[in-house]
Homo-oligomer: A and B are copies of this chain.
Amino acid sequence: MSGKNCILVIEDEVSIRNFISSSLTANGYKVVTAKDGQQGLVMISSYRPDVVLLDLGLPDMDGMHIIQSVREWSLVPIIVVSANGMQADKVKALDLGADDYVTKPFGTEELLARIRGALRHWQTRKDTGMSELGTFKSGDLMIDFDKRRVTVRGEIIHLTQNEYKIVAILSKYSGRVMTYDYIIKEIWGPYAKGDNQILRVNMANIRRKIEDNPADPQYIITEVGVGYRMCEDK
């Protein structure tokens, strides 16, 4: 990795901007900031940051609009910063092409983890021309996409077609939240009914098969109101 990774922080509140800025700088990132959407869009195109941290609650411009604009010409990872409880916003942001989100209030560790995740994904997408290798691994869980085989501690786990598809989607984008809607459309097609009951049943079955304690899942985490997230390898 040559040089520091550059993070653009788009955030109107000075205190939060400073907090993020110093946290990231202290951890070896180069940081640039923008105090509103207008300035943010300009800086994305001029600075070409490696990651964008975007507060959804900006004064001058709807955050969704920024995501949309950027996605018209760039795939730079966008991590959305949203106020707690605004679940609908998270879903919408992810749908529009945001890569991940953190909820206020958040700690440095969480923020750094998300940024690392975004950078890693971005890197592999650039390196391998997507198609992230033939296997996924997280803890004792292993997925061999070539063989279409899932193992936990070496034991072969049998998954049905839909179960496998769900796990495959989640692990392909591990570390990122995949919205219910996205997963459902991916498996049952665009005309599937909006309800996520089937997905819930499938998830229960998957967890029964891959988790030590399905009531306290370690691999697939629920993000209430948003979707599921596969943990990245530790």
Looking at chain A's contact residues, is the secondary structure mostly helix, strand, loop, or mixed? loop
- Chain A residues 185-234 with CB under 8 Å of chain B are 223-226, 229
B residues in contact with A146, CB < 8 Å: 176
Find chain B residues with CB under 8 A from A229 CB: 147
A175 interface residue (CB < 8 Å to B)? yes
Does the CB pair A224–B161 fall under 8 Å? yes
Give Cα A225 to B148, complex, Å. Answer: 13
Taking CB as reference atom, which chain B residue is nearest A164?
A: B226
B177 in contact with A148 (CB, 8 Å): yes
Which residue, of A148, A149, A225, has the highest number of chain B Cβ atoms within 10 A?
A: A148
The reply to whether B160 and A225 form a contact with Cβ atoms under 8 Å apart is yes
Residue of B nearest to A146 (CB): B176
Which B residues are in CB contact (< 8 Å) with A160?
Answer: 224-225
A 139-174 contacts with B by CB, 8 A = 146-149, 160-161
Are B161 and A149 within 8 A (Cβ)?
A: no
A223 pairs with B148, CB closer than 8 A: yes
A148 to B161, Cβ gap below 8 A? no
A211 to B226, CA, bound (A): 24
Q: Which of A86-145 contact B (CB under 8 A)?
A: none
Contacts of A161 in B (CB 8 A): 224-226
What residues of chain A have their CB less than 8 Å away from a CB belonging to chain B? 146-149, 160-161, 175-177, 223-226, 229
